[in-house]
Structure 1
Amino acid sequence: MLAVTSLGIWLPDFTFRTRQGFLKPVANLGLPCYQRRWFVLSNGLLSYYRTQAEMGHTCRGTINLATATITVDDACNFVISNGGAQTYHLKASCEVERQRWITALELAKAKAARMQAESDDSGDDFSPSSAPAAPGQGGSSQNSEVQSALRTLGSKVEDLSTCNDLISKHGSALQRSLSELDNLRLTGEAGDKIRQVTERATLFRITSNAMINACRDFLALAQAHSKRWQKALQAEREQRMRLEETLEQLAKQHNHLERAFRGAAQANATADNKSAVGPRKGEASDEDDDNEFFDAMEEAPEFITVPADLQFHKRSSSNISGFNSEMCPDDQSLNDEPLAMNQESPSQEMVPLKKRRTRIPDKPNYSLNLWSIMKNCIGKELSKIPMPVNFNEPISMLQRLSEDLEYHELLDKAAKCHSSLEQMCYVAAFSVSSYSTTVYRTGKPFNPLLGETYELDRQRESGYRSLCEQVSHHPPAAAHHVISDRGWTLRQEITVASKFRGKYLSIMPLGTIHAEFEKGNHHYTWKKVTTTVHNIIVGKLWIDQSGEIDVVNHTTGDRCHLKFAPYSYFSRDVARKVTGVVMDKDGKAHYVLSGTWDEKMEFSRVMQSSRGGENGTEGKQKTVYQTLKAREVWRRNSLPESAETMYYFTALALTLNEPDESVAPTDSRRRPDQRLMEDGRWDEANTEKQRLEEKQRSVRREREREAASQRTSSQSEEGAPHDNYQALWFERCEDQITGEQVHLYKGGYWETKDRGTWEGCPDIF
């Protein structure tokens, strides 16, 4: 991989270790090695990025070579320092490449210093032609304004040049006339010459006046733009100073937290050993609410995969059963064919009833001061914060749950599997695929009203029907039930616990997802990981998924442990990485899953496993899996055209809020504030949202009064619930698998829809 500099020299990228001026020395950061970064040298500026793909949007740092010093450490290392404010410790791949970089940097430094000296001599504080935008930053509107001003100034300069030529021409003619007049004697020709001199003097006066007027216009225009540029430059300098102070404070906090984290590692390990007396995994607790999320250091992998020997490939292609007689023929086919990819897609067998929409109105550009709203909400639960629709996307949480079915074909293929281990690969990939729609979706979905429902009827197109209902308001909980004609059922009840921490927002889904298959009577369960929204106050919003998922087959005891690696600035690994191992009930590994939650997942069959060397920091042994060639099991669908103007909705998400007159009166499609927001009428949507929330509160108060009255009259036992609300299409009971209190679909919705009688539905809109 090569980088092209502005000097026309091809230079390879190199590994480096960076140190900002306000941080502690590199040794105190505990960085074990150099990190690979992409460097670009252009116009006297040296900028770097995590990868070459980041050049279009995210610059990680820039140093001005005009005031920098370049020193050589040893054969491959060198240092660039900018007066103590910034210091880069760089390492090239070899001594030759280091010398190429040193030569290019010195030439760029000399050129930048010369341009800066010329700018200082001219007295200009700001020169549009010599101040390019920083790599990865915007500024198209400012560039357009500067270009327009330059064109106007250019036309004035041309006017001055024309006037100068005319003055020179007429001045020369006037001089010749005057000379001739001086040589004349007082004869009859004197009158003609005098008239000629007068005419030329008049022309000269007119031209001079034109030049003076042009100079006046040029001066006024230059003064006006100079003041604007001075103000803009001063504002940028002040903003930069504020950002540098903020970054310095954050860096100090980060170093302090890292030291505290390392110091408390021993205590945390002891606390983990005592987890039996604490809350169980998956349960919410007060301690969990106070957890902070940090930019995690790179962690050592739990296992290592290496290619299996060629003999395994040959034996697997000829007679894999000779290698391991315990594997069933259906299980063997997983490596011979890519997970039933050769089967005909079930979605091609059905013909849709109608053409679905492919566009929604573009997102309007509304400005809003986020900090004025969020500063009083730190530490509160997200569902209790009155948020305007400006932070929403025109879709409800019930519809977001229905988006889990974006890749339902994975369950269709899993239903056809004969091997439970092969089926586990599909189910695990399906559990990861539901996060692929969140990578660009920074908007908050609408909180459903109590009793709100959403149906997704894709029986003709894809063979399934989905129904969601908001069954609880505090805490907010939604029940979801999906039945497919292709041999599987999916159900879940999700309660979202969320906290706003000032710098980030953590969303912790609580609840269990169940997938049941008619063939083999296999029953799978898993939970969701934590979602973190970063840069809430300053910077560009971005989303990360982190945590672990255990997909369990309660019929056979098979298990797949998935790990979502949190984003780390110091990690050399790919971002958004997910790894997992499929094991049977005896703990024997059969498949290794790897990929990213925003792009794709692959599987590899394990031929042999062994315990490797120790991980030096913790003394743990890594497991080494010898695997066959990886095959793709899932890949994210591409986004529709112009998705950035439509909230980054997928093709399925664009159809979720499509009007449908046959749905229930409580369906999210009929929600007025959500419909107004989708149409771009955000002010009206905010007013309607407040009305709906107040209506819900008044109905809740009335329901609580009735429940209190009934409790008093019947002298019910102490501790009875204050709210006697009961869901319409789901009933509360104990789950036989997990023992949790959940809401299960009791039937009747689709029959009611066929009859077209919705008298039992509440009036919530």
Structure 2
Amino acid sequence: MSEPKTPTTPAGDTYKGWVFKWTNYIKGYQRRWFVLSNGLLSYYRTQAEMGHTCRGTINLATATITVDDACNFVISNGGAQTYHLKASCEVERQRWITALELAKAKAANMQAESDDSGDDFSSSSPPAAHGQSGAAQNSEVQSALRTLGSKVEDLTTCNDLISKHGSALQRSLTELDSLRLTGEAGDKIRQVTERATLFRITSNAMINACRDFLALAQAHSKRWQKALQAEREQRVRLEETLEQLAKQHNHLERAFRGAAQANASADSKSTAGPGKGEASDEDEDDNEFFDAMEENPEFITVPADPQFHKRSSSNVSGFNSEMCSDDQSLNEEPLAMSQESPSQELVPLKKRRTRIPDKPNYSLNLWSIMKNCIGKELSKIPMPVNFNEPISMLQRLSEDLEYHELLDKAAKCHSSLEQMCYVAAFSVSSYSTTVHRTGKPFNPLLGETYELDRRRESGYRSLCEQVSHHPPAAAHHVISDRGWTLRQEITVASKFRGKYLSIMPLGTIHAIFGKNNHHYTWKKVTTTVHNIIVGKLWIDQSGEIDIVNHTTGDRCHLKFAPYSYFSRDVARKVTGVVMDKDGKAHYVLSGTWDEKMELSRVMQSSRGGENGTEGKQKTVYQTLKAREVWRRNPLPDGAETMYFFTALALTLNESEDGVAPTDSRRRPDQRLMEDGRWEEANTEKQRLEEKQRSVRREREREAQLALSECLDSFSSLVGAHHDSHQAIWFERCEDRITGEHIHIYKGGYWEAKDRGSWEGCPDIF
């Protein structure tokens, strides 16, 4: 970001720093190193170029400086050169504007060889002394205004004298002309009369100009007085703000010392406590807190007072011990399961694969495909496998279980609010697999299924089925032996807008915990793929998630901040607050959707009036030390050549015996692509899509024939239910929580797998 340097000379002749400069519509604003020296503004790509390569220079003596908005400003010298610049913030922009205006004034005065006047307007002290010289500057401005007023009065007097003497001269010449002299004397008189007329015209023009100057000077005098008064008021406000910040800083220092002394006294009572220096470091760690967010945060967090640390020490230790007990019980549970079923103890766990064939390097004319796709639904565009990754949307949906252990821990929580924290972390963790995954999953065929049986390793079984083709919708059901059930029906709406692709998942996710019958629901945020045509593809998540516990009324509001190139905040940031049914905050969540999430317990909250912007008050939460609740697993070695798949994603398309004939693992075009045979995969993909269209047309024809045999009173139904497809393992019903019409698992799949009987499955491959 912008890192301007303070003036390096007492006279303020040099000013350096990073500023964003507009380059073109493809690259946008790019960071450049600007140097202001001796009335010239030059810029370089880097600081290292200052000695040999200057990218451009503008002479400020003839340049105009205009301000566009809070951070943008424009410098132009009449059209030949124009720089559109952007600072990192309003304060930085104002520093540059001040430095540029001073340099421009001095350069103009030097060009007019008026050094004394130029020195009056140049800064003679560094910015830190501005407040101390305010009275002197005020006196200087008042003196200049008085001098200007005196000169205006002299101009008015001269104006009156010219008018008076000009009129007298005109009368004398008129009288002389009336004598009607002849000869040479008459010619001379007429010549003098003509010259006097020209002088009168010129004098009248000068009189009008003086009158205009007088009016303009009086208007500017009033404007300068108002500006001076505004500067005085602003200085007073800044002084008051500085005093308030100093008081707050002093209060925080006292609170920190109190907490340090309390912890030090507690450590001195222990028999095996750390040394003096170690205790100091530990005290600093115990008082960690969330930084206040800069870009319109909804709330602000500060460390809680020492009294809250003392009061809640038992609660905090209880929460930590509960987390530890959860981890221990999770590690012990597979052993307990194996002891209960000795027959499975002799069967080793299946060794999953850790690699897939490397992605081949195929070139593709992107624009030839994309130019006819703008504004169309993505699922209706016949895309080659070059844009895909060798995985289906059903398998991608199963990747939400990458961090299933968060739900395992949530199922063991005794507090619904702590359980909400784990559920919220789980909802964020599902996006961590997308940060480098720019490939498009295969659109599932109608009736396609995918099972993920991890009961022996992780205690859960997952089943997905494509229940609708237009719009594309997939139903998902997960049942875990560790006390939770997850179900969802996701309909993906996507639009290609030329420069970016927006993917809007529609549908509700349900998490039900059998121990206390807590039922949670939430929805997914929008995924945006940028630089579709030009540049490197990158993915962002933005929007808000409201997680609701319909049993207790607890809520959690999560906000995914959209990525901004000019933001100084951490990228991909997620923040949230866990509240009970009465709206009281208990936990604050913060982190990033691609790395980790942390939680802090709220000890006290208040409304901060002076912290808000545009009249909006922000809530200030006093919190304890942040605790990490989730962290992303590292990618496998060589992931960049394997579509950036995670360890779980590498196993999803692995061949497995006993799965349904409609399982995504059996899809031939997807298998060919994974093996690197993309041309054959494209041919096979076209065959499967044409086969699906033929089946759909046949189904519509049969539906029309069946409807035509109905009574005339039902003739209006013709064309309303052409697609009579019925899901195999899911049934459509109304959800009693949300009121939505969704597909819910009706059972029978795992029993059919145990029997090896798949008679009801269609032939889709």
Instruction: Give the TM bin, normalised by the shorter chain.
Output: 0.5 to 0.7
Question: What do residues 242-263 of structure 1 show as CA deviations (whole Å, max 9, x unaligned)?
Answer: 9999999999999999999999
**Any conservation in 1 of the 2:110–2:118 contact (CA below 8 Å)?**
no
Q: For 2:47 and 2:438, locate their aligned partners in 1 and report how far apart those are by CA, in whole Å.
A: 24
Per-residue deviation, 1:722: 1.2
Give the equivalent residue in structure 1 for 2:460: 464
Per-residue deviation, 1:43: 24
Per-residue deviation, 1:113: 27
Per-residue deviation, 1:182: 112
Per-residue deviation, 1:354: 1.2
**Any conservation in 2 of the 1:163–1:207 contact (CA below 8 Å)?**
no
**Any conservation in 2 of the 1:295–1:567 contact (CA below 8 Å)?**
no
**Any conservation in 1 of the 2:392–2:664 contact (CA below 8 Å)?**
yes
Q: 1:453 to 1:375 in 2, by over 3 A?
A: same
Q: 1:160 to 1:563 in 2, by over 3 A?
A: closer
Give the equivalent residue in structure 1 for 2:740: 740
Per-residue deviation, 1:361: 0.4
Give the equivalent residue in structure 2 for 1:395: 391
Per-residue deviation, 1:570: 2.2
Q: For 1:659 and 1:370, locate their aligned partners in 2 and report how far apart those are by CA, in whole Å.
A: 32
Larger radius of gyration between Structure 1 and Structure 2: 2
Match of 1:152 among 132, 137, 147: 147
Per-residue deviation, 1:317: 1.6
**Any conservation in 2 of the 1:505–1:534 contact (CA below 8 Å)?**
yes
SS of the counterpart of 1:210? Answer: helix
Q: For 2:177 and 2:74, locate their aligned partners in 1 and report how far apart those are by CA, in whole Å.
A: 75
**274-283 vs 603-612, greater mean Cα deviation:** 274-283
**513-522 vs 610-619, greater mean Cα deviation:** 610-619
Q: For 1:149 and 1:682, locate their aligned partners in 2 and report how far apart those are by CA, in whole Å.
A: 80
**581-590 vs 59-68, greater mean Cα deviation:** 59-68
Q: 1:535 to 1:520 in 2, by over 3 A?
A: same
Per-residue deviation, 1:299: 3.4
Q: 1:534 to 1:73 in 2, by over 3 A?
A: closer
Question: What do residues 558-582 of structure 1 show as CA deviations (whole Å, max 9, x unaligned)?
Answer: 0000000001122111000000000
Q: 1:58 to 1:415 in 2, by over 3 A?
A: farther
Q: For 2:658 and 2:151, locate their aligned partners in 1 and report how far apart those are by CA, in whole Å.
A: 67
Per-residue deviation, 1:73: 20
Match of 1:197 among 163, 182, 192: 192
**715-724 vs 131-140, greater mean Cα deviation:** 131-140
Question: What do residues 595-644 of structure 1 show as CA deviations (whole Å, max 9, x unaligned)?
Answer: 00000000000000000124664211000000000000000000000100
Question: What do residues 536-585 of structure 1 show as CA deviations (whole Å, max 9, x unaligned)?
Answer: 00000000000000010000000000000001122111000000000000
Give the equivalent residue in structure 2 for 1:645: 641
Q: 1:548 to 1:78 in 2, by over 3 A?
A: closer
SS of the counterpart of 1:198? Answer: helix
**Any conservation in 2 of the 1:57–1:136 contact (CA below 8 Å)?**
no
**Any conservation in 2 of the 1:339–1:422 contact (CA below 8 Å)?**
no
Q: For 1:761 and 1:538, locate their aligned partners in 2 and report how far apart those are by CA, in whole Å.
A: 44
Question: What do residues 466-494 of structure 1 show as CA deviations (whole Å, max 9, x unaligned)?
Answer: 00000000000000000000000000000
Give the equivalent residue in structure 1 for 2:707: 708
**Any conservation in 2 of the 1:594–1:603 contact (CA below 8 Å)?**
yes
**Any conservation in 1 of the 2:708–2:715 contact (CA below 8 Å)?**
no
Q: For 2:694 and 2:128, locate their aligned partners in 1 and report how far apart those are by CA, in whole Å.
A: 54
**615-624 vs 299-308, greater mean Cα deviation:** 615-624
Question: What do residues 690-741 of structure 1 show as CA deviations (whole Å, max 9, x unaligned)?
Answer: 000000000000000005556xx98584674111100000000000100000
**Any conservation in 1 of the 2:603–2:621 contact (CA below 8 Å)?**
yes
Q: 1:135 to 1:286 in 2, by over 3 A?
A: closer
Q: 1:656 to 1:273 in 2, by over 3 A?
A: farther
Per-residue deviation, 1:315: 2.1
Question: What do residues 214-271 of structure 1 show as CA deviations (whole Å, max 9, x unaligned)?
Answer: 9999999999999999999999999999999999999999999999999999999999
**539-548 vs 116-125, greater mean Cα deviation:** 116-125
**Any conservation in 1 of the 2:574–2:593 contact (CA below 8 Å)?**
yes
Give the equivalent residue in structure 2 for 1:632: 628
Q: For 1:46 and 1:390, locate their aligned partners in 2 and report how far apart those are by CA, in whole Å.
A: 48
**Any conservation in 2 of the 1:170–1:200 contact (CA below 8 Å)?**
no
Q: 1:328 to 1:674 in 2, by over 3 A?
A: closer
Instruction: Count the aligned residue pairs.
Output: 730
The two structures have a TM-score, normalised by structure 2, of 0.60
Q: 1:470 to 1:92 in 2, by over 3 A?
A: closer
Q: 1:359 to 1:78 in 2, by over 3 A?
A: same
Per-residue deviation, 1:213: 86
**Any conservation in 2 of the 1:297–1:570 contact (CA below 8 Å)?**
no
Matched, 1:520 2:516: yes
The two structures have a TM-score, normalised by structure 1, of 0.60
Question: What do residues 321-365 of structure 1 show as CA deviations (whole Å, max 9, x unaligned)?
Answer: 999999999999999999999999999999862110000000000
Q: For 1:702 and 1:212, locate their aligned partners in 2 and report how far apart those are by CA, in whole Å.
A: 95
**Any conservation in 1 of the 2:604–2:622 contact (CA below 8 Å)?**
yes
**380-389 vs 101-110, greater mean Cα deviation:** 101-110
Q: For 1:679 and 1:241, locate their aligned partners in 2 and report how far apart those are by CA, in whole Å.
A: 72
Q: 1:755 to 1:440 in 2, by over 3 A?
A: same
Q: For 1:667 and 1:278, locate their aligned partners in 2 and report how far apart those are by CA, in whole Å.
A: 59
Q: For 2:343 and 2:222, locate their aligned partners in 1 and report how far apart those are by CA, in whole Å.
A: 64
**674-683 vs 320-329, greater mean Cα deviation:** 320-329
Q: 1:329 to 1:242 in 2, by over 3 A?
A: closer
SS of the counterpart of 1:676? Answer: helix
**Any conservation in 2 of the 1:379–1:499 contact (CA below 8 Å)?**
yes
**Any conservation in 2 of the 1:56–1:135 contact (CA below 8 Å)?**
no
SS of the counterpart of 2:193? Answer: helix
**Any conservation in 2 of the 1:59–1:135 contact (CA below 8 Å)?**
no
**208-217 vs 592-601, greater mean Cα deviation:** 208-217
**342-351 vs 129-138, greater mean Cα deviation:** 129-138
**Any conservation in 2 of the 1:330–1:418 contact (CA below 8 Å)?**
no
**181-190 vs 537-546, greater mean Cα deviation:** 181-190
Q: 1:50 to 1:722 in 2, by over 3 A?
A: farther
Question: What do residues 488-508 of structure 1 show as CA deviations (whole Å, max 9, x unaligned)?
Answer: 000000000000000000000
**Any conservation in 1 of the 2:555–2:579 contact (CA below 8 Å)?**
yes
Give the equivalent residue in structure 2 for 1:269: 264
Q: 1:565 to 1:37 in 2, by over 3 A?
A: farther
Q: For 1:70 and 1:476, locate their aligned partners in 2 and report how far apart those are by CA, in whole Å.
A: 54
Q: 1:290 to 1:339 in 2, by over 3 A?
A: closer
**236-245 vs 425-434, greater mean Cα deviation:** 236-245
Q: 1:51 to 1:612 in 2, by over 3 A?
A: farther
**Any conservation in 2 of the 1:451–1:764 contact (CA below 8 Å)?**
yes
**578-587 vs 323-332, greater mean Cα deviation:** 323-332
Matched, 1:315 2:311: yes
Q: 1:494 to 1:280 in 2, by over 3 A?
A: farther
Q: 1:182 to 1:133 in 2, by over 3 A?
A: farther
**Any conservation in 2 of the 1:545–1:564 contact (CA below 8 Å)?**
yes
Q: For 2:373 and 2:240, locate their aligned partners in 1 and report how far apart those are by CA, in whole Å.
A: 24
Q: 1:482 to 1:667 in 2, by over 3 A?
A: same
Per-residue deviation, 1:314: 2.1
Q: For 1:36 and 1:49, locate their aligned partners in 2 and report how far apart those are by CA, in whole Å.
A: 9
Unaligned ranges ≥5, structure 1: 1-33
Q: 1:727 to 1:381 in 2, by over 3 A?
A: same
**Any conservation in 2 of the 1:330–1:419 contact (CA below 8 Å)?**
no
Give the equivalent residue in structure 1 for 2:81: 86
Per-residue deviation, 1:760: 1.3
**Any conservation in 2 of the 1:579–1:593 contact (CA below 8 Å)?**
yes
Per-residue deviation, 1:759: 1.7
Give the equivalent residue in structure 1 for 2:5: none
Q: For 2:433 and 2:133, locate their aligned partners in 1 and report how far apart those are by CA, in whole Å.
A: 26
**248-257 vs 183-192, greater mean Cα deviation:** 183-192
Question: What do residues 45-88 of structure 1 show as CA deviations (whole Å, max 9, x unaligned)?
Answer: 99999999999999999999999999999999999999999999
SS of the counterpart of 1:716? Answer: helix
Q: Percent identity?
A: 92
**726-735 vs 343-352, greater mean Cα deviation:** 343-352
Q: Pairwise CA RMSD of aligned residues?
A: 22.5
Q: 1:682 to 1:293 in 2, by over 3 A?
A: farther
**Any conservation in 2 of the 1:296–1:567 contact (CA below 8 Å)?**
no
